[in-house]
Amino acid sequence: MASALINVPAKAKRGDIIEIKTLMSHIMETGYRHTTAGEVVPRDIITSFTCRFNGSEIFRTDLFPAISANPFITFFTTATESGKFEFEWTGDQGFSETASASITVE
């Protein structure tokens, strides 16, 4: 039941600095914890997050075990033209999720 919450302004003026906010559902298991029986709980984290705007990459970050569950990633960009933001999260155990949001620039 993975899901993402995305906050991108629907409209902006050309040249405006806009904030993009993303929240992805993920347990971010560090790989350093043990069960009561002493077995290691295998690492299960998101390792990479990418944002593309109209096909070209505008933001990328690597994630590590110290990052909390349900990572909240925000960044700023300049509104240049109307188009579509595409977000991609990839991680351990074949985790791969995408989401998108559109913006109209006037």
Partner 1 sequence: MRFAGAIAAVLLIAGSAFAAEIPQADRRSGYDFMKPDTRAMQDEDTANPGMLWVLDGEGLWKRKAGTANKTCADCHDDARTSMKGVAARYPSFDKSTGRPIDLEQRINSCRTSQQQATPLPFESRGLLALTAFIARQSQGVRIETGADPQLAPFIAKGRELYVQRQGQLNLSCANCHDDSWDKRLAGSAITQGHPTGYPLYRLEWQSLGSLQRRLRACITGIRAQAYDYGAPELVELELYLMSRARGMAMEAPAVRP
Q: Spell out where the chain has E strands.
A: 4-7, 11-12, 17-24, 46-53, 56-62, 72-78, 83-91, 96-105
Q: Provide, rounded to whole angstroms, the least separation between the CB of residue 8 and partner 1.
A: 9
CB-CB contact of 84 with 102 (8 Å): yes
Q: How far apart are the first and last CA of the chain?
A: 37
Asked if 30 interacts with partner 1 (CB under 8 A), we say no
Q: Provide, rounded to whole angstroms, the least separation between the CB of residue 86 and partner 1.
A: 17
Residues 14, 60, 69, 104: which binds partner 1 (CB under 8 A)?
A: 69
Residues 48, 70, 80, 90: which binds partner 1 (CB under 8 A)?
A: 70
Query: Which residues of the chain form contacts with partner 1 (CB under 8 A)?
Result: 1, 3, 5-7, 21, 23, 25, 27-28, 68-70, 72
